Amino acid sequence: MTTLTLPRLLRASRLLVLAAAIGGPLLSVAAPAAPADAGTPRGKPIEAILTSPPHVPPPTNRNYPAKVIVNLEVVEKTMQISEGVNYTFWTFGGTVPGSFIRVRQGDTVEFHLKNHPGSKMPHNIDLHGVTGPGGGAASSFTAPGHESQFTFKALNEGIYVYHCATAPVGMHVANGMYGLILVEPPQGLPKVDKEYYVMQGDFYTTGKYREKGHQPFDMEKAIDEKPTYVLFNGAEGALTGDKAITANVGEKVRLYIGNGGPNLISSFHVIGAIFDQVRFEGGSNVQKNVQTTVIPAGGAAIATFTARVPGSYVMVDHSLFRAFNKGALAILRIDGAENKAIYSGKEVDAVYLGDRAQPNLAAVTQAAQGAAAGKLTKDEQIKAGQQLFAGTCSVCHQSDGKGMAGVFPPLAKSDFLGAGAAKAIDVVLRGLSGKVTVNGTDYNSVMPPMNQLNDDEVANILTYVFNSWGNPGHVVSKDDVKKARAAAPAAQGQAEHK
């Protein structure tokens, strides 16, 4: 919990305002049943096992309160936020979200916060599971190369967010400074087969979504609450492909789901699964049979469900543009025998996921690097284009380019494409509507503009299209696309399409 009474907090007025916003209202809520002060710690001090996401430390398996020592190091480091896109994250423990901490109600926690000597900024920590001013923030302000120590008693059980609260707080959080601490009830949590740690966050880069290279933090977008990325576990693809989380048919799965924010509320949903139970808001009440659970910024939930039918289950923020256009998508893969009585089968992955179903977009990065170095081969363009086509265009034009009779015109051997690259670029950037005749067949439908793609991506997709399925074989360059994008739409032959 956060409060305002601390002199050190008072000194930083910006921090004060944010602290009020985060913690203020909580203070006026009537206290639930008195929390357990389980008395003095017993036994030898225990060093807490910390884990990186999506892993969760094992249960404490203790029936007495102990002194638990937590050593957490802040590390500022550059990591991939999306394929070919780097971002300088500020982390608790080297990962986003930060290390998972697990203690037992009644434990006395001796917290050591270290700030790596390579850091540029001071940091601190506010744990929502702490009862005391600033949730530890005021006692843990730590300059680079220093260490702070404070001790708290874990009075209330539950799943709690922790985060950095150094001004500007929003920026520290936006850079990835948050994680979860689980305070187990004295009797422990019911046994399950798998436990995972998933945490959402919104990110703000100066470049557009998937714009390659190193992307700095964009304060203005953050203030406007217009994220470039909304992500699970700090990177697009952190939990997809071979990094998907897994379970077997018949297993009970428990998810600890946090939301670091700093701005957005998550509508957390697993496509094709129903949560048997959710401890919503991380509190002690249990809601049953939940489809989508709201996770506030700075909040968390514990959700359990049973894996019943094998396949890929897509975890999303059901504010769907975040899922499909900002990265808020993860996969839970369930292995095991089919259960036709519950579900007939047939995977719908590709349709739902597009290029996000791919294990990775490495060819896209390679092409971007080649382009940056000025030595991009046609082959690299085609490879990158093929991967991007799989998510962007194949939904309608199909992966074999043959389209769908009466609805989506073919790209394979399309005489429209025979008219040259300029028209094709225009269609991708500005869309197409009204009557169009392809290979003697009329289509009168709408293709939305694909202008979320950057110049590089359009060039690679079209190079792939032109060099596949018997098409004429042009190479489309990034510059061609750039020029077309800059040109006035009317000059691009709109009239012809109408």
Task: List interacting residues with Cu ion (CB under 5 A).
Answer: 123, 164, 166, 172, 177
Identify what 177 binds: ligand HEC, Cu ion, none; CB under 5 to 8 Å per kind.
Cu ion
Q: Which is nearer to ligand HEC, 71 or 433 (CB)?
A: 433
214 in a labelled binding site: no
Q: Which is nearer to ligand HEC, 259 or 381 (CB)?
A: 381
Q: Which is nearer to ligand HEC, 178 or 464 (CB)?
A: 464
121 in a labelled binding site: no
Contact by Cβ (8 Å): 300, 282: yes
CA distance linking residue 49 with residue 59, whole number of Å? 10
Contact by Cβ (8 Å): 217, 78: no
Q: Which is nearer to ligand HEC, 369 or 445 (CB)?
A: 445
> What is the signed CA dihedral for 240, 244, 250, 256, rounded to 10 degrees?
-100
SS3 211: coil
Tell which residue, 343, 44, 32, 283, has the closest CA to residue 160: 283
Q: What string of DSSP letters covers 313-333?
A: EEEEESSHHHHHHS--EEEEE
CB of 389 to ligand HEC, least distance (A): 6
CA distance linking residue 458 with residue 466, whole number of Å? 12
Identify what 165 binds: ligand HEC, Cu ion, none; CB under 5 to 8 Å per kind.
none
Contact by Cβ (8 Å): 54, 69: no
Within positions 406 to 425, which residues make up the interface with ligand HEC, using CB under 6 A? Answer: 408-411, 414, 416-417, 424
Q: Which is nearer to ligand HEC, 379 or 415 (CB)?
A: 415
CA distance linking residue 195 with residue 56, whole number of Å? 6
Identify what 32 binds: Cu ion, ligand HEC, none; CB under 5 to 8 Å per kind.
none
Pairing of strands 299-306, 275-279: antiparallel
55 in a labelled binding site: no
CA distance linking residue 330 with residue 255, whole number of Å? 13
Contact by Cβ (8 Å): 258, 159: yes
Q: How many other β-carbons are positioned within 10 Å of the β-carbon of residue 403? A: 20
Stretch of 48-56, 100-108, 283-291, 405-413 lying at the interface with ligand HEC (CB under 6 A)? 405-413
Identify what 250 binds: ligand HEC, Cu ion, none; CB under 5 to 8 Å per kind.
none
163 in a labelled binding site: yes
Stretch of 177-185, 295-303, 394-402, 482-490 lying at the interface with ligand HEC (CB under 6 A)? 394-402
Identify what 332 binds: Cu ion, ligand HEC, none; CB under 5 to 8 Å per kind.
none
Q: Which is nearer to ligand HEC, 159 or 459 (CB)?
A: 459
If residue 153 lies in a helix (H) or strand (E), which one and from where to where?
A: strand 147-153
Q: Which is nearer to Cu ion, 165 or 183 (CB)?
A: 165
Question: Out of 465, 476, 481, 484, which residue is the one contacting ligand HEC (CB under 6 A)?
Answer: 465
Question: Out of 319, 433, 468, 494, which residue is the one contacting ligand HEC (CB under 6 A)?
Answer: 433
Stretch of 37-45, 59-67, 305-313, 431-439 lying at the interface with ligand HEC (CB under 6 A)? 431-439
**C-alpha to C-alpha distances, 418 to 132, 174, 426, 461, nearest whole angstrom:** 71, 47, 14, 16
CB of 186 to Cu ion, least distance (A): 33
123 in a labelled binding site: yes
Q: Is 293 exposed, middle or buried (0-12, 13-18, 19+ CB in 10 A)?
A: buried
Within positions 442 to 461, which residues make up the interface with ligand HEC, using CB under 6 A? Answer: 443-448, 450, 461
CB of 184 to ligand HEC, least distance (A): 47
CA distance linking residue 289 with residue 274, whole number of Å? 6
CA distance linking residue 168 with residue 170, whole number of Å? 6
CA distance linking residue 64 with residue 14, whole number of Å? 41
Identify what 123 binds: ligand HEC, Cu ion, none; CB under 5 to 8 Å per kind.
Cu ion
Question: Out of 74, 81, 231, 436, which residue is the one contacting ligand HEC (CB under 6 A)?
Answer: 436
Q: Would you tell me which residues interact with ligand HEC (CB under 6 A)?
A: 392-393, 395-397, 408-411, 414, 416-417, 424, 427-428, 432-434, 436, 438, 443-448, 450, 461, 465
Annotated binding-site positions for Cu cation: 123, 128, 163-164, 172, 177, 318
- Annotated binding residues, written as ranges, equal 123, 128, 163-164, 172, 177, 318
